[in-house]
Structure 1
Amino acid sequence: MSMHLQRDLESLEQNLLNQSSVVEQMVFRACQSLRELRVDIVQEVLASEETVNYREVEIEEECLKILALHQPVAVDLRRVATVLKINGDLERIADLAVNIGERTHSLSLYPDFQMPANLDKMAESAISMVRDALDSFVRLDVELARDVCARDDVVDELNRQVISDVQALIETNSSDIEPAFHFYSASRHVERIADHATNIAEDVIYLVDGDIARHRHDGIPY
C-alpha cells in the first residue's frame, strides 16, 4: 500500500468515527427526550441531523475519490466498501433518532400516559450495539462483531414484550390507543437501530474475513 493511500484511508476512517460519535449521541438524547417527554432535547437532535447529512455526503465523496485515484484492491478495497456501507447505516440511524424525537412531540400531548416498561432497556441495548459495532470496526475484532449480531435477538425479544404490553394497555383502556401507537412506533424505531448496528457488525466480518454474513439463517453460525 502506498503512503498516500494509507494516509487517505486513515483520514477516511477517522471521519467515519467522528460521524459515529454524533449519531450515537443523537440516539442517546432522542431516547432521553422520549423517556422524560422533553421537547427541548428534540431540537438538539434535529440540529445534529443536518451535521450528519452533510458529513455523510463528504464521506461518500472521500470514498469515491479514493477508488478513483488509488484503485485499491483486496483488503484495501474492502475497507473502502465497508466505510461506504457503514456510512449509510449511520445516516439511517440518525434518521431513526429523529423519528424517535417526533414521537416525543406526539407523546408530550399525553403527559398522563403511563409508558410500558422495557423501552429504556431496549434503548440501552441498541446504543451499546452501535458503540460496539464501531469498536469492532476500529479494532478489526470479528468476535465482538459476532457478539453484536447475537445481541440483536435480545432487542427483538424486548420489542416483542413492548408490543405485548401495549396491546394489554389498550385492552384495559381504549382511550390510550393514540399515545400507545406513538409509543409502539418509538419502540419500532429503537429496534431498527439495533438492526443497523447488526448491519455494521456484519460489514466488519466481511472486512476482516471477506465473508458476507448477511441473510444467514438461524442455526448457521456467523
Structure 2
Amino acid sequence: MTDPSMPLEFAALGGYLLGSVPFGLVLTRLAGLGDIRAIGSGNIGATNVLRTGRKDLALATLLLDSGKGAFAALGAMALAGWSGVDPTVPVVAGVAAVVGHNYPLWLRFKGGKGVATTLGVLLATAWPVGIAACLTWLLMAVVFRYSSLAALTALTVAPGFAFAMAGWPHVAGFAGLAALAWWRHRDNVRRLRDGTESRIGQTSGGEPATAVQARDAA
C-alpha cells in the first residue's frame, strides 16, 4: 500500500537524483556532438544545446528537463497515494529536482540554471500557477527579447500567483525556486544591468565561448 505520509527526506532524495540526469549532455553525446559543456555558455540546458544547430535536440532537452521536474513531483504524489497527500511532499520533490539539475552529482555539481525544470514543477504541483508563469515568460520574451529577464520575471511572480491560486507549501517552495534562479542568473543580471546581455535570436557574432559564458537561461 502507498503511504500518504511519505517522509520528506525520501521525496527530496528521489527528486534530486531524477533532476540530476543531464539530458542535454546525454542527447548531444549520443548524437555525436561531443561535450555540450565545451561550447557556447558551457551549460547543459536547451538554450546551449540549440547552439549546436540541432533544434530537435534542443526541443527534446527542453521537454525532458521540464518533464523530470514534473515527474519528480507527480511520482512523489503517486508513491504517497495521490489522495490525502500532504502538498508539501510533491513540492519538496520538485524543488529537489531543480537543485539536482543545477548541481548534479554526476557532473561535480556543475549543472544548468533550472528554468525549464522549475516550470515543469510549477505545472505539476499547481498547474494554474504554472500556466500563469509560462504566459508571463512569453509576454516578457516577446516585449523585451531577453530570455533571462523573462525567466526571472516569471519565477519571481510565481509565489504571488501561488498565494492567490494554491497553498502555503507552494508559496514557500516557489519562493525558494525564485531565489535559486536569481542566484544562478547573477551573471545575466549583471549583463542586463550593463546592457550587454544578448537578446533572443541574437547571434554571438563569432565570439569565443568565454565571451558568452553563462548566457544560457535554461
Question: Could you state the TM-score of these two structures normalised by the residue count of structure 1?
Answer: 0.33
Task: Pick the structure with more helix per residue.
Answer: 1
Structure possessing the higher radius of gyration over alpha carbons: 1
